[in-house]
């Protein structure tokens, strides 16, 4: 219960400024589970980035299979939390652990 309260408090008070991102640091300290990450990826990300990470050129959804290895863990987590361009924010939909799991899955699949 206490955790849920703290998470709710963080969401409520999350400042509009995006350069400081305490949530990213918290997530990077968690150890991700690739099997859970695959489930969360398939449910939340594959509609745009495709199950095989190839993305969709026609709709300008980038290929994670090509790009993820050029991005730092912190960049990937921040994009998932805050969204970017046509990509929605997942801050309210995914737990910290789920984001850590997705990161682990991306690293396991696409480097």
* Per-residue binding letters, 91-110, with ligand HEC (x by CB under 6 A): -----------x--------
Phi and psi for 84 in degrees, rounded to 5? -165, 130
Residue that has been written with the tokens 């997942």 in this structure: 90
Which of the 8 DSSP states describes residue 88?
A: P
Which of the 8 DSSP states describes residue 5?
A: H
Binding of ligand HEC by 86 (CB under 6 A): yes
d(CA 53, CA 46): 7
Question: If DSSP codes are grouped into helix, strand and coil, which group holds residue 101?
Answer: helix
* Per-residue binding letters, 7-46, with ligand HEC (x by CB under 6 A): -------------------------------------xx-
Residues that bind ligand HEC (CB under 6 A): 44-45, 47-49, 60-62, 64, 67-68, 71, 76, 79-80, 84-88, 90, 102
């Amino acid at each position: 219960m206490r955790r849920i309260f703290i998470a709710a408090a963080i969401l409520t008070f999350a400042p509009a400024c995006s350069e400081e991102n305490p949530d990213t640091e918290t997530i990077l300290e968690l150890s991700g589970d690739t099997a859970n990450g695959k489930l969360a990826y398939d449910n939340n990300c594959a509609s745009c980035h495709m199950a095989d990470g190839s993305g969709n050129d026609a709709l300008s959804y980038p290929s994670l299979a090509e790009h993820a290895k050029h991005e730092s863990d912190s960049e990937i987590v921040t994009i998932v939390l805050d969204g970017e361009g046509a990509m929605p924010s997942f801050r309210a939909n995914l737990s910290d652990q789920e984001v850590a799991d997705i990161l682990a899955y991306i690293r396991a699949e696409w480097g």
